[in-house]
C-alpha cells in the first residue's frame, strides 16, 4: 500500500464545489480536490493501459501494475496532480470577481470561450512545467464548476457535456437575459428541488458575491432568473427565490443538494476526458512526451548510479566533498526499493592511462572504494575528461545518468563526438559539476582557439545528451553537489525527526519505526567516535555494527551515519519503539530519515477578504492565524493524533489536536495555528489502521516575519504593448519602527522605472505603492521582493 502526504485547507464560503475540504459536518461532500485527483488518476490509468505501458488486464488496475513496488514514482506522479488541484482550488478565489469563470449568471458561452482560450495557451507554458500544471488547473476549475453551477445535471444526470470548452463545437441554447428560468419558491433555503422549469436550454444561477447582479422582477412575479443559492448568496432572497447549485450535500448551502453526487460524477468524467478524449483531449495538444513529463509518468528502471571523477592534484578539496556526498547517497538508499542496480566509478587524470573504471553491486563496496581515492598528478590543468566519461558510459546500464566532477578543461576535447555518440546510444545524459579554479589558473597556457573549444566541451555534451552543467567554486562545491545528486538521483528520503541532544540529557531517545519503513538512517554530528551512541532493540540490547543489513560509517567531517537496511527483516527488528543511547556525554545533532512510502508535503493557508482560504505566499507573519493541513493518501481509517510545532533545536513547543476526515482515498488532518516569533517546523503523529504510530517531520522550515507584503495584481495575462500597474501594500506588524525597500524585477525587462521604493513605517502602520509593467514580446515572470533596511527603537 502506498502513502503520500499533501496539503489541504478549509473554506467556509462556497461558489462552486468546495475547493479543498468541506467542514466536518459535511463529510459526504466531494470537492474540487476530490474531482481533480480522481479524474486525473482515471485519465492517466486509461492512458497507461491504452498505450500498452503495462501488462494490466484492465484500465482500473493499470496504475497499480505500472508503479508496482515503486512508491517513489507513485509519489512523484501524485505530487504533480497535487500541483494541478491546488491551482484548481486557488482559481476559485483568484478569479472571484469574474462570473463566467464560475459559470454564473447565464454566462455559459463566455465560460465555454474561456476554456477554449485556456486550452489554446497550454503549449505556451511548455518550457515551465510548474506553470503549465497551474494553467491546467485553471482550465479544469471552470469545466468542473459547469456541473455544480448550471442546470446540465438536472437535464442529463451524470453524463458529461463533452462539447463544453471545445473549439469548433456549437453549444446547446443558453437562456437569454430576458428569459425566466426558475419558479419563485416560498422559502429561499429549503424545499427548492422543483424550482427549475426550463428543460431544453442551459442556464446558471446569479451570485451576488461574484460580481454579478440578479435581474429584478415585479414583487408578485411567479418566475425569474435562477440564483446560485445557499447561505452565502444574498440573491437567493430575490424572485425567483432559492437557487440551483449542487456543490454540497447540505440543503442550506446547495438548493439542489440531492444532485450533488451526480454533479461530482459528471465533473470527474469531464476531467478525465479533458486529458484523454480521443480527438479533443489535451494529450493531443501536448503530445506523449510532454504529457508524461507534466505528470511524471515514469517507471523505475534498472539503472546505474555513475560518477566520472577527476582525481588530479588540484581536486583535493572537491574529492572530499564527492566522498561525503556519495556516502550520504548510498547510506540513504542501500537495501531499499530506491537503490540503484549498481554503482559505477570512473577515475580520470593525466596521463590517459591512469583512467580506471569500477562497478559495484554493493553500496558498502562503493563507499570503501571512494575512501581509498587519493589525489595526485595532473601537472597542467586540462585532464583526459573524455576518456573518463567514456569509461563511465561503457560500464553504465542504459538510461542511467553519468555525473562528472572536475575543475579542469578536457584535454581530449577532440573526442567530443565520440562521447556524445556513446552516450546517446545508451540514452545516458551527461551532467557535469565544474569547479573553475584550476581552469582560471592554468588557462593562459592554452592556445586561444583550443580554450574556446574546451570551454564548450561540457556544455555541448550536456545539450546533446539531455544533461546539465553546474558551475561553482571550491567553497560551494559541496552544496552544489548535494543539489545535483538530488535532482539526478532523488533519494526520496522522509524526515522522521531532527533535534539537538544536549549534554545534560541522559535519557534514551525514542525512535518510532512504522511498518512502511524499508531503511532507517541516523546521522549523528558532534561526536568524535562512531561508538559514541548506540541503537537499541526493543529489548534494550544494542545492534551490532557491522552486521547483516546494518552498517555504520564515520565521514571526514566526523559525522557518524547508521544505516539499518531492510528494517523489517533484521533479526528481532520489527515496527515499534526503538531507542538511541548515549555512551559519551556530548551535545549531538541527530537527524533521523527513512526510505518509506509515507511522505510529507505541507503548507499553510490564509483567509482572503472574502473569507476563503488561499495558499500562503511568502513567509507567515508572527502573531497571525493560519490554517495548516495534511493529507495522507491511501491511509484509510487512520487517525490524526497530534501536530507539533517544533523549534530549531527539535523541541515540541506547541501541540495541536487536529481535525480529521477519512475518505475512500485519503485521510485529512488540519488545525489552526498562531505563528510564533521563532523559526519552526511541523511534526505529525498519526496512527495507521492497526493503531501503530507514524511520525514524520516536515522538511520545510518556516521563518516568520514581522512585515507583511501584499501584491495586488491580476493573475490574468497582460496584453502585449499595454501597461499594467502592479500595486502592493506593506504593513509593519512588529513593535518597532522599520524601514523597507520594495523591489520589482522580471526576466524580460518589462518593468518601467522606478523599480524600487523606500518606506519607513511605525508599528501597525500600512502604506501602498505601485510599479508599472510594459510587456512587449512574450511570457515573463515577475518578482516582487521586500528588504528590511534599518531598525529604529521606539523611545519610551
Dmax over CA atoms of the chain, in Å, equals 99
Q: Which CATH class, in words, describes the domain spanning 494-596?
A: mainly beta
The DSSP-derived string for 509-522 is EEEEE-TTEEEEEE
CATH 2.60.40.10 residue ranges in the chain? 707-792
Query: Are 103 and 146 in contact, with CB atoms under 8 Å apart?
Result: yes
Of the options 2.60.40.10, 3.40.50.1000, 1.20.810.10, 3.50.50.60, the CATH number for the domain spanning 707-792: 2.60.40.10
> Distance from CA of residue 236 to its chain's centroid?
39
**CA nearest 404: which of 389, 424, 419, 387?**
389
Place of cell 465560460: 111
CA dist 12 → 132, 148, 695 (Å): 29, 17, 30
Strand partners, 6: 631
The burial of 331, by beta-carbon neighbours within 10 Å (0-12 exposed, 13-18 middle, 19 or more buried), is given as buried
- CA contacts within 13 A on the Cβ side of 472: 20
List the Cα angle 552/554/558 in 5-degree steps.
145
Q: What local confidence, expressed as pLDDT, does residue 1 receive?
A: 33
- Residues written for the chain: 796
Instruction: Give CA–CA dist 61/684, Å, rounded.
Output: 31
Q: What is the mean pLDDT of residues 285-299?
A: 92
- Output the nine-digit C-alpha cell for 190: 429549503
Band (pLDDT 50/70/90 cuts) for residue 465 is: very high
SS3 call for 20: coil
The DSSP-derived string for 318-374 is HHHHHHHHHHHHHHHHTTSTTS-SEEEEEEE-SSGGG-EEEEES-HHHHHHHHHT--
pTM: 0.78
Return the sign of the alpha-carbon dihedral for residues 376, 377, 378, 379.
Answer: positive
In this structure, the number of other CB atoms found within 10 A of the CB of residue 368 comes to 12
Answer yes or no: is pLDDT of 785 > 70.
no
Q: What is the mean pLDDT of residues 492-514?
A: 91
For the stretch 119-171, pLDDT in tens is 999 999 998 999 999 999 999 999 999 999 999 999 999 999 999 999 999 99
Q: What local confidence, expressed as pLDDT, does residue 787 receive?
A: 58
Return the sign of the alpha-carbon dihedral for residues 28, 34, 39, 44.
Answer: negative
Q: What does DSSP say about strands 693-697 and 560-565: parallel, antiparallel, or unpaired? A: unpaired
Answer yes or no: is pLDDT of 790 > 50.
no
For the stretch 504-531, pLDDT in tens is 998 999 999 988 888 899 999 998 888 9
Residue partners of 246: CB distance under 8 A and separation at least 6: 147, 148, 149, 153, 254, 256, 257, 259, 260, 262, 263
Answer yes or no: is pLDDT of 331 > 70.
yes
List the Cα angle 620/209/166 in 5-degree steps.
95
Q: What local confidence, expressed as pLDDT, does residue 443 receive?
A: 42
In this structure, the number of other CB atoms found within 10 A of the CB of residue 650 comes to 17
Q: Which residues of 733-769 are buried (b: 16+ CB within 10 A; e: fewer)?
A: bbeebbebebebebeeebbeeeeebebebeeeeeeeb
Q: What does DSSP say about strands 693-697 and 681-687: parallel, antiparallel, or unpaired? A: antiparallel
Question: Which range, of 279-283, 700-704, 735-739, 780-784, averages the lowest pLDDT?
Answer: 780-784
Instruction: Give CA–CA dist 434/416, Å, rounded.
Output: 17
Instruction: Give CA–CA dist 56/167, Å, rounded.
Output: 34
Strand partners, 500: 589
Give the DSSP letter of residue 6: E
Instruction: Give CA–CA dist 4/666, Å, rounded.
Output: 9
- Write down the CATH number for the domain with range 304-488: 3.40.50.410
For the stretch 395-444, pLDDT in tens is 999 989 899 988 888 889 899 999 999 999 999 999 998 886 564 444 44
Sequence-ordered strand ranges (E) for 93-240: 182-183, 223-224
β-sheet with 576-582: strand ranges across: 509-513, 576-582, 533-536
The burial of 336, by beta-carbon neighbours within 10 Å (0-12 exposed, 13-18 middle, 19 or more buried), is given as buried
CATH 2.60.120 residue ranges in the chain? 494-596
Instruction: Give CA–CA dist 678/281, Å, rounded.
Output: 48
**CA nearest 754: which of 736, 734, 737, 769?**
769
Give the DSSP letter of residue 171: P
CATH 3.40.50.410 residue ranges in the chain? 304-488
Query: Are 165 and 221 in contact, with CB atoms under 8 Å apart?
Result: no
The DSSP-derived string for 637-653 is T-EEEEEEEE-TT--EE
The DSSP-derived string for 121-135 is TGGGGTT-HHHHHHH
3-state secondary structure 694-725: EEEECCCCECCECEEEEEECCCCCCCCCCCEE
Comparing 690 with 77, the larger pLDDT belongs to 77
Mean pLDDT of the chain: 85
Amino acid at each position: 500500500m502506498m502513502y503520500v502526504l499533501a496539503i489541504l485547507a478549509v473554506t467556509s464560503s462556497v461558489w462552486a464545489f468546495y475547493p479543498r475540504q468541506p467542514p466536518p459536518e459535511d463529510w459526504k461532500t466531494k470537492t474540487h480536490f476530490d474531482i481533480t485527483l480522481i479524474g486525473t488518476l482515471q485519465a492517466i490509468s486509461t492512458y497507461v493501459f491504452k498505450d500498452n505501458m503495462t501488462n494490466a488486464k484492465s484500465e482500473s488496475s493499470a496504475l497499480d501494475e505500472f508503479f508496482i513496488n515503486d512508491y517513489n514514482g507513485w509519489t512523484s506522479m501524485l505530487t504533480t496532480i497535487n500541483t494541478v488541484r491546488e491551482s484548481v482550488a486557488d482559481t476559485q478565489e483568484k478569479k472571484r470577481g469574474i462570473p463566467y469563470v464560475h459559470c454564473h449568471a447565464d454566462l455559459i458561452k463566455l465560460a465555454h470561450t474561456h476554456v477554449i482560450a485556456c486550452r489554446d495557451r497550454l503549449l505556451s507554458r511548455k518550457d515551465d512545467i510548474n506553470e503549465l500544471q497551474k494553467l491546467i488547473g485553471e482550465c479544469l476549475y471552470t469545466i468542473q464548476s459547469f456541473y455544480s453551477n448550471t442546470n446540465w445535471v438536472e437535464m442529463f444526470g451524470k453524463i458529461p457535456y463533452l462539447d463544453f470548452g471545445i473549439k469548433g463545437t456549437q453549444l446547446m441554447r443558453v437562456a437569454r437575459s430576458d428569459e425566466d428560468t426558475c419558479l419563485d419558491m416560498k422559502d429561499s433555503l429549503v424545499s427548492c428541488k422543483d424550482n427549475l422549469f426550463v428543460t431544453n436550454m442551459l442556464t446558471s444561477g446569479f451570485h451576488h458575491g461574484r460580481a454579478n447582479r440578479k435581474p429584478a422582477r415585479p414583487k408578485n412575479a411567479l418566475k425569474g432568473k435562477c440564483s446560485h443559492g445557499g447561505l452565502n448568496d444574498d440573491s437567493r432572497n430575490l424572485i425567483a427565490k432559492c437557487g440551483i447549485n449542487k456543490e454540497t450535500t447540505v440543503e442550506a448551502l446547495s438548493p439542489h443538494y440531492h444532485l450533488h453526487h451526480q454533479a461530482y460524477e459528471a465533473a470527474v468524467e469531464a476531467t478525465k476526458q479533458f486529458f484523454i478524449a480521443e480527438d479533443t483531449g489535451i494529450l493531443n495538444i501536448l503530445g506523449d512526451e510532454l504529457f508524461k513529463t507534466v505528470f511524471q509518468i515514469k517507471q523505475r528502471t534498472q539503472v546505474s548510479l555513475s560518477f566520472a571523477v577527476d582525481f588530479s592534484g588540484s581536486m583535493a578539496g572537491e574529492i572530499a566533498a564527492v566522498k561525503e556526498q556519495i556516502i550520504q547517497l548510498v547510506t540513504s538508499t542501500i537495501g531499499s526499493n530506491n537503490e540503484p542496480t549498481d554503482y559505477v566509478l570512473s577515475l580520470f587524470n593525466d596521463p590517459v592511462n591512469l583512467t580506471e573504471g569500477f562497478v559495484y553491486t554493493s553500496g558498502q563496496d562503493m563507499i570503501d572504494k571512494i575512501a581509498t581515492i587519493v589525489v595526485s598528478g595532473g601537472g597542467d590543468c586540462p585532464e583526459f575528461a573524455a576518456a573518463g566519461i567514456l569509461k563511465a558510459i561503457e560500464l553504465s546500464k542504459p538510461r542511467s545518468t553519468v555525473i562528472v566532477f572536475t575543475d579542469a578543461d578536457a584535454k581530449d576535447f577532440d573526442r567530443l563526438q565520440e562521447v556524445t555518440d556513446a552516450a546517446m546510444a545508451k540514452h545516458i545524459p551527461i551532467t557535469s559539476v565544474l569547479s573553475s579554479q584550476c581552469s582560471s589558473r592554468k588557462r593562459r597556457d592554452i592556445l586561444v582557439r583550443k580554450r574556446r573549444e574546451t570551454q564548450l566541451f561540457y556544455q555541448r555534451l550536456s545539450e546533446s545528451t539531455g544533461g546539465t552543467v553546474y558551475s561553482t567554486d571550491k567553497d560551494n562545491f559541496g552544496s552544489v553537489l548535494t543539489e545535483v545528486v538530488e535532482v539526478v538521483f532523488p533519494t526520496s528520503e522522509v524526515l522522521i525527526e531532527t533535534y539537538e541532544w544536549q549534554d545534560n540529557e541522559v535519557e534514551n531517545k525514542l525512535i518510532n519505526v512504522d511498518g512502511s519503513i524499508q531503511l532507517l538512517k541516523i546521522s549523528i554530528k558532534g561526536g568524535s567516535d562512531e561508538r559514541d551512541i548506540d541503537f537499541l532493540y526493543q529489548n534494550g540490547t544494542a545492534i551490532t555494527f557491522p552486521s547483516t543489513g546494518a552498517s555504520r560509517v564515520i565521514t571526514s567531517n566526523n559525522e557518524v551515519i547508521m544505516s539499518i537496511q531492510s528494517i523489517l527483516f533484521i533479526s528481532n527488528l520489527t515496527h515499534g519503539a526503538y531507542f538511541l543511547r548515549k555512551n559519551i556525554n556530548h551535545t549531538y545533532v541527530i537527524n533521523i530519515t527513512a526510505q518509506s512510502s509515507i511522505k510529507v508535503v505541507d503548507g499553510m493557508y490564509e483567509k482572503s477578504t472574502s473569507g476563503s482560504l488561499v495558499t500562503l505566499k511568502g513567509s507567515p507573519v508572527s502573531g497571525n492565524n493560519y490554517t495548516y493541513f495534511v493529507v495522507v493518501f491511501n491511509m484509510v481509517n487512520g487517525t490524526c493524533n497530534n501536530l507539533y510545532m517544533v523549534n530549531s533545536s527539535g523541541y515540541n513547543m506547541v501541540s495541536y489536536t487536529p481535525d480529521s476526515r477519512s475518505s475512500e482515498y485519503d485521510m485529512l488532518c488540519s488545525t489552526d495555528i498562531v505563528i510564533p516569533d521563532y523559526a519552526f517546523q511541523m511534526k505529525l503523529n498519526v496512527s495507521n489502521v492497526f493503531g501503530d504510530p507514524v511520525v514524520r517531520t516536515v522538511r520545510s522550515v518556516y521563518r516568520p516575519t514581522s512585515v507583511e507584503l501584499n501584491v495586488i495584481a491580476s493573475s490574468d495575462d497582460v496584453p502585449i504593448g499595454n501597461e499594467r500597474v502592479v500595486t502592493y501594500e506593506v504593513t509593519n506588524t512588529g513593535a518597532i519602527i522599520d524601514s523597507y525597500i520594495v523591489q520589482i524585477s522580471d526576466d524580460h525587462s518589462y518593468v518601467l522605472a522606478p523599480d524600487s521604493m523606500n518606506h519607513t513605517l511605525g508599528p501597525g502602520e500600512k502604506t501602498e505603492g505601485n510599479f508599472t509593467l510594459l510587456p512587449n514580446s512574450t511570457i515573463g515572470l515577475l518578482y516582487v521582493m521586500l528588504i528590511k533596511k534599518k531598525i529604529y527603537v521606539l523611545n519610551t
